Structure 1
């Protein structure tokens, strides 16, 4: 197929025979990548336990509408649209691990289909299918397709927005520009920093205008982007107020080495990253369409690097929305080989990714981090608990041990002894605590103490006043160590 961006405005079509109403298999080429992504991502979907980011999704989306609004006033305002989406989903399908992750799984399957369609529009059907299959077998696609966070949905919105832009440039219908604006709005609502994709879209529009020597697409493109961006301004302003709470104050732009290894990071594998990068370079060398696609990928990366020099927004996972476009370009390179050779190369990528696929199903923590085994900690408490037990958490970090224990133990969770009020009423992820520890535990004879390691993997301790009160009035009856946790069972000292 000729590149869409190279097509002139379509002329009136000649009379053609009436098409058959029978379904043609070649019209559903996008189905195979979608099914592949769905099968790979669906395999062992609930195996890896919820990690701290997913626990944030669980507690935020499980609140009442009023409590969700209160939370957005303090933290995670930029994720409010995603939390609302998950709130509705949970109300219908429940909050099991499988249910929580299913929207992301559906998103990567749909994204694989759109990668195929986009590759077919820009290059050929072969390029689309091979690009979609490449996307489906990447370890990072499994990783984010099995996570209750918005990254997979943002990748879907980014791919849909790019496809809608290409279609609008090709056909020039107002409703196509409207769909493009809605896709951009969804992209920003799901992952605000992903709107840097618009810098890549500007490259496509500028190339189209220069190629056809027509500036007619510029006004509708500008209007669509302006409408979407204006609608996102309140979300951006609220997010700017909370950036210190969520991301800190110190910008941390990537090193040059970090930028050069972007493809490795977003693909989820060192070996696959190098192969993908090589395919992308071949796609760039092939023709001008590949060079335009590469520019549409590189410009958003440059924009993210630039913004990260003044705002602490840099993290490789924030660029996952570019993975579909990388696969489109890599698929164009693969399409220069015969079908069997292209499919064999996709199989090679899948085999190279098997170790990383296994890691993705074991833990969602980074490779350098120790697993925080919430389930093991909850099992120990469940095995040894007695009616009337109390529990004390170390919860001044981002590990959310209390949320996890309450999720896994449900109504059998020991009483939260230091809680002043629940986190929902406080509009926070952290439950406010009493400072008078001895008074809070005055009537308790058995107290569990749960201390997660800090985010760097170092073992932590309770605040000194809490430790002092506990050691004065209680003695250790049991002590356990599981990955990422220190657990103690304390019993009250007998009065002499």
Structure 2
């Protein structure tokens, strides 16, 4: 029985709704799987795959030294056991998780608004550019969105049917899964507390005791991860790459999520306009003064504003961390269009066409790999897969391979099918230690018994081979001065920004001694 004051509707049913659902799912699947294998696997994705190849115990121990919880990597581990380690297989977990989020959003909208608003939101979310972009990456961001949207639906169902025990249980389990996937799940807790307070204030639904008990259960289930969490918070490593927050970043954030593309081609006014429009839509939705309006508007604005405030102290503002919150944008727009259509149907239709056109533009940027998200230029320009394939055709037994940077070493290891254990050239930190001694990030994937692969000084490098491949993701002219005089370059394989140079070592032993060989990606297991 619905609590008074909230418009809860049953999930759309019937032949027409089934047909619309099918169309929306086809659009969503096509948008997410189209060209999904085109971008090259880059550092972050290679880290995910290579880590997930280890056992769950290994994943737990390794992520404890990193900056993220372990659940995504554990699920990816079993996913790849079932479907393989290929690019399509690895990325499909993110794509299907995002389609699952779409289905949950349809369910959520069907509970709180009209059928027309529900399907409008579904269509807009089906090809929301930021969702499509990160559904094509082997990272945890869309999985986080799936857990959090599922928890939100469970919460609304709990408020709708307080006597049903399965809903609070589902809420606890889904929120716990979200926390084990990414720490930004805490931002959704703020949204849910705000919504619960608003509904309780208006209707007195779900007692404070039951609510606190549910949240306490989440904390208890998360206690096993408390020691790594505390250690990571005290260390605060792995965030140094995030730039300080600026006002242009905040004001153009919605542009980044929807329009994307080369922001330098547009004036500041145009880039700020999407943010202004979503604020107008949110205001129109809140004007209705319904509790669910607070939920949908807060689902986007509370996380974004919270991260903005935190970033004034520690920079953490990054679009990919807020992919889960971006799912609320189509829901807010759909509700605003629904309200507008009641007075100005023609204007609402024009606005809908405009929003679809803007999203189509954003999708084109995603497929062209010009969306300006982190790693996009590398995924587009590196072409490391082609270089590694060419190297595989040219390599001979006994060759040595050296990769000049950890950033390229992990993707190279993913693509490497030669069976040769590559060496890794590293630079020294300001205090004189090798970067490879770090215990977090990609360095944590190199076990101590393989630290012999690291070197910094060519004079100490001992090679048994006559042929050495030097692999780099960016050509660095300064490296030419590093190579010893008896290294003579005889071949260059180049694709995009990646390059593999073959050197013959003059004066090396004439009998080729086989380089150390291991099964592909062995060092990360």
Work out whether residues 305 and 314 of structure 1, in 8 Å CA contact, stay in contact via their aligned partners in 2. Answer: yes
SS at match of 1:471: coil
TM-score (norm 2): 0.78
Matched, 1:154 2:140: no
Work out whether residues 118 and 328 of structure 1, in 8 Å CA contact, stay in contact via their aligned partners in 2. Answer: no
Aligned residue pair count = 470
Give 1:451's aligned residue.
472
Distance verdict in 2 for CA 1:167–1:229, change over 3 Å = same
Name structure 2 gaps, 5 residues minimum.
262-269, 426-435, 438-442, 510-525
Matched, 1:39 2:30: yes
Distance verdict in 2 for CA 1:274–1:119, change over 3 Å = farther
Deviation at residue 36 of structure 1 after TM alignment: 1.8
Give 2:114's aligned residue.
124
Deviation at residue 49 of structure 1 after TM alignment: 1.6
Distance 2:167 2:330 in 1: 24
Give 1:490's aligned residue.
503
Correspondent of 1:388 among 383, 389, 398:
398
Please list, as runs of the form range in 1=range in 2, the aligned pairs for 1:89-238 lying within 5 A after superposition.
89-172=79-162, 173-212=164-203, 214=204, 216-235=206-225, 237-238=227-228
Matched, 1:267 2:258: yes
- Cα deviation code 1:87-130 (max 9, x no counterpart): 01111110011100111111111111221221222221211111
Deviation at residue 342 of structure 1 after TM alignment: 7.3
Deviation at residue 471 of structure 1 after TM alignment: 1.0
SS at match of 2:138: coil
Give 2:520's aligned residue.
none
For the aligned residues, what is the CA RMSD? 3.8
- Cα deviation code 1:148-171 (max 9, x no counterpart): 111111111121111111111121
Distance verdict in 2 for CA 1:317–1:69, change over 3 Å = closer
Distance 1:252 1:230 in 2: 35
Name structure 1 gaps, 5 residues minimum.
11-21
Work out whether residues 191 and 295 of structure 2, in 8 Å CA contact, stay in contact via their aligned partners in 1. Answer: no
Deviation at residue 27 of structure 1 after TM alignment: 6.1
Distance 1:258 1:361 in 2: 18
Deviation at residue 175 of structure 1 after TM alignment: 1.8
Distance verdict in 2 for CA 1:269–1:89, change over 3 Å = same
Distance 1:345 1:430 in 2: 56
Give 1:75's aligned residue.
66
Distance 1:393 1:433 in 2: 10
SS at match of 1:6: coil
After TM superposition, the structure 1 stretch with the greater mean CA deviation from structure 2, 170-179 or 98-107, is 170-179
Give 1:13's aligned residue.
none
Give 2:365's aligned residue.
356
Work out whether residues 445 and 491 of structure 1, in 8 Å CA contact, stay in contact via their aligned partners in 2. Answer: yes
Give 2:429's aligned residue.
none
Work out whether residues 386 and 495 of structure 2, in 8 Å CA contact, stay in contact via their aligned partners in 1. Answer: yes
Distance 1:322 1:365 in 2: 18
Distance verdict in 2 for CA 1:461–1:320, change over 3 Å = farther
Distance verdict in 2 for CA 1:368–1:379, change over 3 Å = closer
Deviation at residue 371 of structure 1 after TM alignment: 2.7
After TM superposition, the structure 1 stretch with the greater mean CA deviation from structure 2, 362-371 or 471-480, is 362-371
After TM superposition, the structure 1 stretch with the greater mean CA deviation from structure 2, 475-484 or 358-367, is 358-367
SS at match of 1:192: coil
Distance 2:445 2:413 in 1: 14
Give 1:16's aligned residue.
none
Distance verdict in 2 for CA 1:431–1:376, change over 3 Å = farther
Work out whether residues 365 and 371 of structure 1, in 8 Å CA contact, stay in contact via their aligned partners in 2. Answer: no
After TM superposition, the structure 1 stretch with the greater mean CA deviation from structure 2, 368-377 or 112-121, is 368-377
Deviation at residue 440 of structure 1 after TM alignment: 4.9
Distance verdict in 2 for CA 1:358–1:380, change over 3 Å = same
Distance verdict in 2 for CA 1:51–1:182, change over 3 Å = same
Distance 2:463 2:103 in 1: 60
Work out whether residues 5 and 169 of structure 1, in 8 Å CA contact, stay in contact via their aligned partners in 2. Answer: no
Distance 1:373 1:9 in 2: 51
- Cα deviation code 1:264-290 (max 9, x no counterpart): 223352679845752552353242234
Give 2:490's aligned residue.
477
Deviation at residue 303 of structure 1 after TM alignment: 2.1
Matched, 1:327 2:330: yes
Deviation at residue 299 of structure 1 after TM alignment: 2.1
Work out whether residues 259 and 359 of structure 2, in 8 Å CA contact, stay in contact via their aligned partners in 1. Answer: no
After TM superposition, the structure 1 stretch with the greater mean CA deviation from structure 2, 365-374 or 170-179, is 365-374
Distance 2:190 2:36 in 1: 35
Deviation at residue 47 of structure 1 after TM alignment: 1.5
Deviation at residue 79 of structure 1 after TM alignment: 3.3
Give 1:19's aligned residue.
none
Matched, 1:307 2:310: yes
